Structure 1
């Protein structure tokens, strides 16, 4: 068993981990990153994202120093998104179960921290294809508070991170799975890792746990989320198995946040290779559902597709699908709605898709109960309040007064051909992690810090519960990753 020494050890190599690495290296410390995946699959869940990052700003003018130039900027309206807006959205979607201090830290630091990354070489752009619909006059109105993302999505995000790390002298070991945390006299002094069948030791002054949650472990999902979560699809990295979380708990670390809930979205149920697909990444998510309706095997609707902007509902609707018969549902659209669906998601080669000139035949093709679907669509169409005009860029109040209600964006499903997209539950990350303080130090149950141990990213619990605002996961990784790296370096 060989032994390696470093000042700061980072376990994991996703967005939060690399932010911690950049921050620690910026303080002049030697930094070693352990990545369980091979190099071609490195980057944790961050690689599987669209790179969307929720940031406070004062409108487009305040973002031009951050985002790539685009000729559409002159025709774009980007409403300001304040710290108060950010905190209010976090509080709303979590039912007030978000940690207040973590929320304040996130919303007050994210704008500065993204510019810190920009100065290091990270690239950002406005998310036209995800967060704005083009209006009839050719202009764009951004909505939902999520306006900025990494150039080239999650792949670009991690490409930039690794490039910054290489140029600054951060060392990354791939296929290096941490299995144990080392402890002496109550302080963490490094970790044991396995690589190519051999065991090795890393001795470090500080160790940062940034190895994600436990969403890729079916056993831990069943234990903490419930037995039915064994049937969810792991949409991101298969390497987030909770091993280091368990190692920290064995050393007396306290649990932080909600260990009984997670981020889970609607995921293509008809694509042949729909689990941890490193080629297609996030493009198997199905997020144009606010435009249409969602039905189960019986042809019945079971949620409010238009409750809010999809940024604020998509991470909880995967759970709703998981609870349906067979853990499957179908998104239904007609010919008028189909052109508005996201092309990068609904036109992937091999996408699960059924098309028919009649709703009855569509039901038969898809495996939906025919009478149930016909009755649901007829009832839905008749219940639409047409006094409000359809406007996908705002919560338009165009509701379908049926059960369950559709609060916004209700349009009749009436013009053939008709489309059905099968979806299941794709789990992204778990919300429970380790409990930390304002320096990202890992705490014991009595509130004292474990010397030498820090946490960030999905391994740090407390910010989310049941749901989260889209783009706040990467944002939290940036803010708390930077804090963890700086404090570990000191």
Structure 2
């Protein structure tokens, strides 16, 4: 709908998973809801368009999920990747509530498929969306439309007026005009600031100019910056983010999931000097893939190179781009712009450090490790000897940033520790409340779904 109301019960800023969960929940509670989405309709949905799955606690089989996944195991997985940098109360709230979210998602149009095999190993922990994130987003928009939620696309929020700890007016531009709405309640679900590469560079330094942005180019942090400048409580470190190593040939923005590389466990990874710099076999991929974006960011020119051989080519989900292939390590080095003699030495040293590979198991920690090599490879260490040899370039791909709005268990924002009267946050905008560092596959969707629903419920209750 293209009408622009001057008031509404609940205004939702953003158009992705968290925003839609908030809007649907508020509308079902009887509130009039308006969504302001910065993207054009064809690109609606924020980073949710590129997601594939939802990490879910469950007691016994649930939907496509097998066996069980307990609260304590889920929390232990989260603590491992965050190094304990999380709010325990909010983390447990997200984990516990995730179990009831999956049936709610199905009831609101989301369909699931069996989880994928191979390096993902997620059949017990993560439910995969049939048709991917775009299908999820479209299903939610259809549900929202049936509930009477109004949506304005290409609506760029520019300022929220705060008076006495409440939002009294929201200014935005739409159809080339400056407009405003006076909502009773506001839910901010507008993502992080990762698409503003100048802001990334202020946080990370000039190296950030070499980063690629995996998701939407519309998450520029305008609303986040506006609220932080007005004293709304913040959480998180601007240098922490969900960053993975992606195919170096990916576009600057919006490459999405298809540019991710899952081959690291079966490879050696070298920098531009053909030197290894980290243990490629540290853990199963869903628990460790998100560290590689930061690792590559710390190497010269923020680039890395994956080297595998023919026996590993079918063990992982490939990038949308084909690998570089060669019949020898030296030829591969030349094609990839690496020093051939040095890469030959690195591969030979690695191969010499490999031992018995009979216990190799591609989807489990197998203990097939190197001996006497620094850094070691502690699992899946097989010699790279079988031509053709293959390579991918790696660059840091930022999904979303963790600097955000601090919330409580009601998803309520605050100023000076005192809750605001009518401002809530959900999704990537507040994910830093739980993710101090690192990432766990599918957990961003958990955060968005859980706190989107909470924010929508609280916002509607206040408005009514």
Where on the TM-score scale, by shorter chain, does this alignment land: which range? Answer: over 0.9
State TM-score, norm by structure 1. Answer: 0.89
1:206 aligns with 2:194: no
2:17 maps to what in 1? 15
Give the alignment partner of residue 365 of structure 2, picking from 395, 402, 408.
395
Residue matched to 2:36: 34
Q: 2:93 aligns with which of 105, 110, 114?
A: 105
- Which residue of the other structure, out of 413, 419, 437, is the alignment partner of 2:390? 419
In the superposition, relative to structure 1, how do residues 326 and 225 fare at CA in structure 2: closer, same or farther (>3 Å)?
A: closer
Q: Does the 8 A contact of 1:296 with 1:330 survive in 2?
A: yes
The answer to whether the aligner puts 1:80 opposite 2:68 as a matched pair is yes
Counterpart CA distance in 2 for 1:430 and 1:339 is 32
Aligned to 2:289: 314
1:66-465 aligned at under 5 Å gives the runs 66-67=63-64, 78-129=66-117, 142-143=121-122, 146-271=125-250, 274-277=251-254, 281-342=256-317, 345-346=318-319, 348=320, 351=321, 353-386=323-356, 389-401=359-371, 402-444=373-415, 446-460=416-430, 461-465=432-436
C-alpha separation between the residues in 2 aligned to 1:157 and 1:411? Answer: 39
**Which residue number corresponds to residue 452 of structure 2?**
481
Q: State the shift of 1:388 in Å.
A: 5.8
Q: Would the aligned equivalents of 1:266 and 1:287 in 2 still touch at CA under 8 Å?
A: no
Contact persistence 2:90–2:434 (CA under 8 A): yes
Residue 433 of structure 2 aligns to a residue in which SS? coil
Of residues 5, 9, 22 in structure 1, which corresponds to 2:7?
5
Gap regions ≥5 residues in structure 2: none
Shift of 1:79: 4.7
Does the aligned pair in 1 maintain the 2:57–2:125 contact within 8 Å? Answer: no
Equivalent pair of 2:212/2:252 in contact (CA under 8 Å): yes
The number of aligned residues is: 456
Equivalent in the alignment of 1:139? none
Moved more, 376-385 or 429-438: 376-385
Structure 1: gaps spanning 5 or more residues: 68-76, 133-141
Contact 2:207 2:302 (8 Å CA) reproduced: no
For 1:380 and 1:143, how far apart are their aligned partners in 2?
A: 30
Cα distance in 2 for partners of 1:146, 1:317 equals 22
Distance in 2 separating the partners of 1:180 and 1:10: 14
CA distance in 1, matches of 2:425, 2:131: 27
C-alpha contact 1:190 1:206 (8 A) present in aligned 2: no
Shift of 1:82: 1.0
Runs of 4+ with >6 A deviation: none
Shift of 1:118: 1.0
**1:96, distance to aligned residue in structure 2 (A):** 0.6
Once the two structures are superposed, residues 174-204 of structure 1 have per-residue CA deviations (whole angstroms, 9 ceiling, x without a partner) of 0001110122333112411111321110111
CA–CA separation in structure 2 for the residues paired with 1:232 and 1:432: 17
Aligned-pair CA distance for 1:128: 1.6
Name the SS for the 1:467 alignment partner: coil
